Structure 1
Amino acid sequence: MSEPRLSSLRWRVTVRRHPSAFLLAVQLLSLVLYPLFDEMRGGRVVFGAFGVLALALAVWVVNRSPAIKWIAWLLAVPAFGFSLLSVLFASESLLVLSSALEAAVYFYAAGSLIAYMMSDHRVTSDELFAAGATFTLLAWGFAYVFVVCQAWYPGSFTGALNPGQPRSWLELLSLSFTNLSAVGLGDVIPLGSTARVLVMLEQLAGVGYLAAVVSRLIGLTLLRHERR
């Protein structure tokens, strides 16, 4: 077997064995690259469309059920299409629609990974990567929800810089991360009733995720080491 084909085979095996690590790496890479494209028109949408495809592939690898694959693609394909159309036609309505669908994809993928981690009492390295990937999925999902909320209810969020202007995608993503992790740091705050409710729901989701999923993985890992 030639070296290129052997390398390709090794890459496919690695992705299949550690799909959660692949997903987490894609999310973190997108996060690092966002500042370079944040000021460009459609930069967030392009990265969002790329993220939707990566999510759909990750869900397909982790969950082998044809029904689950069908649902993932049913959400991902139109989200990808509307994202591209919103860039081509500079349409805010298409951007809101694509954001709603992308939020559904991220929440669906997060739920799939949580079910995957809770399915047995054995902790694998991929499940540890899944714990980190799920956190980023929830943060991205709520950020897209904030985008929809801001479009439907103008003035829902304000910040230290240009308080009267809509918050950028990166600002809403930063709010989502600080809110989900409960660190309480950031210069973006919710003002409207709907925005406040969404923020509270994300706080509840963050606390519940840490208490029910992360603590379980830590406990099972410690138990495994004690048995050894």
Structure 2
Amino acid sequence: MDRLRRKVAELPCALLLFVQLGALLAYPFIETRRGDVQEVGRAIFGLIGLVVLFLAVRAVRATPALTWVAAGLGGPVVVLTIAEAIWTNNTTLTFWSSVLHALFYVYTGYGLLRYMFADNWVTRDELYATGATFTVVAWGFAYLYLAVQIAYPHSFTIYGESGEPGTRTWFELLYLSITTMTSTGLSDIYAVEPHARAFVLLQQIAGMLYVALVVARLVGLTIARFRQ
């Protein structure tokens, strides 16, 4: 147990990455629930979100970024997440919660980038931070899309959907976010309103720059390390 605690303390970005990857597998079971079980699913959804928030703040503490900024954003997000679980149909509450979630995850991504660019030596945790930064930013854009959908209804549609575009779930928007970030183009969900398309374009540019600047730099430093 002591060895496990030391590993967790040494690799905060690895823990953040694995919890987020685990959440990807858990969300489908939560969203497909119906009736009374759905309320339990929402509670579990909120709990997973709070755990990810805690791990994100913990990961930022290991970076040169300001912890109090992350904590200052994380505190209101926790309150709004709990409020969302109580008042599930309050769109105003959901909108501001989504905006703060997006700001929090984007700032966490910024902190992880500073962590990876702080020196010219690649540690194991910095390699995990490469994946954690990607997932954190993808999470942030998913919440941003959720806010856009509330501000501009019918912003996103799904392939083959007839009539007026419906309301996409958060997990569907996360699916769109990750496929956009990876530039695979595999998503059957796409933006149809100008404001939504603008943010999708920003994420496409961010994904391209992430691979070109961050991943390429870490790969180059890792290869140089083994050649020494």
| TM-score between both structures, scaled by the size of structure 2 | 0.90
Determine if contact 2:156/2:192 at 8 Å carries over to the other structure.
yes
Q: Does 1:98 align with 2:97?
A: yes
Specify whether residues 178 and 64 from structure 1 end up closer, same or farther in structure 2 by C-alpha distance, changes over 3 A only: closer
How many residues get paired?
217
| 1:70 aligned partner, one-letter code | W
Is 1:183 the counterpart of 2:194 in the alignment?
no
Q: What is the DSSP-based 3-state SS (H/G/I as helix, E as strand, rest coil) of the residue aligned with 1:158?
A: strand
Paired amino acid for 1:18: L
User: Where in structure 2 are the equivalents of 1:1-228 lying within 5 Å?
Assistant: 7=1, 9-39=2-32, 40-41=38-39, 42=42, 44-60=45-61, 62-63=62-63, 68-90=66-88, 91-160=90-159, 162=161, 164-227=165-228
Distance, in Å, in 2 between the alignment partners of 1:113 and 1:70 is 15
Are residues 85 and 28 of structure 1, via their aligned partners in 2, closer, same or farther at CA, if it must alter by over 3 Å?
Answer: same
Aligned partner of residue 183 in structure 1, secondary structure: coil
1:4 corresponding residue in structure 2: none
CA distance in 2, matches of 1:157, 1:147: 10
Q: Is the 8 A contact 1:49 1:84 kept in 2?
A: no
8 Å Cα contact 1:52/1:102 also seen in 2: no
**What is the alpha-carbon distance in structure 2 between the residues aligned to residue 112 and residue 142 of structure 1?**
16
Q: Which has the larger displacement, 146-155 or 89-98?
A: 89-98
Contact 2:63–2:111 (8 Å) recurs in 1: yes
* 1:162 Cα deviation from its structure 2 partner: 4.6
Query: How many angstroms apart in 1 are the aligned matches of 2:119 and 2:64?
Result: 16
**Sequence identity of aligned pairs in percent?**
38
- Per-residue CA deviations over 1:191-214 (Å, capped at 9, x if unaligned) read 111111100000110011111110
Q: CA deviation at 1:64?
A: 6.6
Of residues 37-46 and 132-141 in structure 1, the stretch that sits farther from structure 2 once superposed is 37-46
Partners of 2:77 and 2:24 in 1: CA distance: 19
Distance 1:131 1:197 in 2: 26
Secondary structure of 2:190's aligned partner: strand
Deviation digits for residues 152-202 of structure 1, max 9, x if unmatched? 000110003655311111110000000000001111010111111100000
Displacement of 1:47: 2.9
Decide whether the 8 Å contact of 1:18 with 1:126 is kept in 2: yes
Task: In structure 2, give the amino acid aligned to 1:187.
Answer: D
Give the TM-score of the pair, scaled to structure 1.
Answer: 0.90
Could you list the runs of 5+ residues in structure 1 that have no partner in the other structure?
1-6
SS in 1 for 2:186: coil
In structure 2, distance between residues paired with 1:59 and 1:197:
29
